[in-house]
A and B are shown apart, each in its own frame.
Chain A
Amino acid sequence: PVCPHSRVEALMLEMQDPASGVKSQTQRLVITTIPHALSGEPRLPPASRPLWRRHHAQAFGTVMVAFGYIYPLQDHKRLILKPDASLYRFQTPYFWPAQQWPVEDTDYAIYLAKRNIRKKGVLELHEQEQYNNLHKWLNHKWDFIVMQAKEQYRAGKERKKPDRVVFDCQERAYWVVHRPPPATVSAMEQGMLRLVDPNEEEVNRCIIFTQQCIMRPRVKSSVSIGALVKYTTTYKQHDPFLAPCLPSSPWLTDDATYWTLNMPNVEVPTKMRVERWTFSFGELLSDPRGRDDFRLFLKKEFSGENLAFWESCEDLKWGTAATMNEKAQHIYKTFLARGAPRWINIDGKTMEVTVKGLKHPHRYVLDAAQTHIFMLMKKVRRVSCVRPCRSVAVPASRRRPSLSPIVLRQQEEEQRAKMAASGPVDITQLCRFTAPVPHLAVYSGFCQSQATASPGVVTLPNSAACPSPISVAIDSTPASERRCDSHGGPGSNFPSIVGSREATSPAKESQTPTSRPRATLSLSRFLRRGCAASSVFASLSPKCGVAAGSGRVQPLGMEPQTLSQPRRSANFFQIKVDIPPECRIYPIDSEDEQESPGSAKGAVKEIICPWESITKQDGAG
Chain B
Amino acid sequence: MNRWRQSVGEIQARQRQVTECERAQVALSKVTACFQQMASSLGSDSDGSSLREELAETRALAHKICTGLHRRLLALLAEGEQGQEREHVERMWVFLLTGLETFQKDLKKVGSLQEFFPLTQRKDRDTLVKTGTSGGALEIAARVATIQTPWLAVEDDQIPDMKTQISKMDSLMQEMLQRVNVPLWSVEAKQEAWVEDIKDEPDQDETLEEMMQVELVSQEGTTSNCCHHPRCKLGCILCLLN
Contact = CB atoms under 8 A, between A and B. Distances in A.
Whether A associates with B in a native complex is: yes
A104 B105 contact: yes
A559 interface: no
A163 B134 CA distance: 7
Contacts of B113: 2, 93-94
Given A95-B40, A159-B139, A119 B108 contact: no
Contact of B127 (A13, A89, A91): A13
B205 A120 contact: no
B149 interface: no
Interface in A58-92: 73-75, 85-86, 89-92
A151 interface: yes
Interface residues of A, number: 81
Contacts of A3: 112, 116
A157 B207 CA distance: 12
B67 interface: no
Most buried by B among A31, A94, A104: A94
Interface string A11-31: 011001110000011011111
Interface stretch (A136-144, A409-417, A479-487, A596-604): A136-144
Nearest to B91: A143
A118 to B, nearest CB: 6
A107 B43 contact: no
Contacts of A319: none
Nearest to A135: B193
Contacts of B102: 104, 106-107, 144, 148
B1 interface: no
Interface stretch (A164-172, A258-266, A334-342, A610-618): A164-172
Contacts of B193: 131-132, 135, 142
A152 B195 contact: no
B156 interface: no
B191 A143 contact: yes
A485 to B, nearest CB: 58
A155 interface: yes
Contacts of B75: none
A619 interface: no
Interface residues of B, number: 77
A160 B189 contact: no
A36 to B, nearest CB: 4
B193 to A, nearest CB: 4
B126 A17 contact: yes
A158 interface: yes
Interface in B104-140: 105, 108-109, 112-113, 115-117, 126-136, 139-140
Nearest to A38: B130
B228 interface: yes
Given A93-B42, A106-B101, A146-B191, A119 B197 contact: yes
Interface in B163-215: 184-191, 193-198, 201, 205-208, 211-215
Given A117-B198, A143-B91, A147-B25, A93 B136 contact: no
A116 interface: yes
Contact of A92 (B41, B134, B142): B41
B110 to A, nearest CB: 8
A193 to B, nearest CB: 19
A362 B132 CA distance: 58
Given A93-B43, A119-B205, A158 B140 contact: yes
B36 interface: yes
Contacts of A172: 208
Contacts of B2: none
Contact of A163 (B36, B105, B136): B136
B225 interface: yes
Nearest to A22: B130
A505 B101 CA distance: 63
A94 B129 CA distance: 11
Contacts of B33: 148, 151-152, 154-155
B129 A141 contact: no
A149 B33 CA distance: 8
Interface in A561-582: none
A140 B41 CA distance: 31
Given A113-B195, A119-B207, A135-B193, A35 B132 contact: yes
Contact of B213 (A16, A17, A29, A104): A29
Contact of A170 (B109, B131, B139): B131
B217 interface: yes
B143 interface: yes
B76 interface: no
Q: Which 8 A-B pairs have the closest CB atoms?
A: A93-B43, A142-B189, A151-B33, A13-B127, A146-B191, A36-B132, A36-B130, A144-B98
8 contacts: A25-B222, A90-B130, A119-B205, A140-B185, A140-B188, A144-B94, A148-B29, A155-B37
Given A27-B132, A92-B133, A106-B102, 20 more contacts: A2-B112, A16-B128, A18-B126, A73-B212, A85-B225, A89-B132, A93-B117, A104-B105, A139-B188, A142-B189, A142-B193, A144-B29, A150-B29, A151-B29, A151-B30, A152-B33, A157-B201, A158-B37, A167-B40, A170-B40
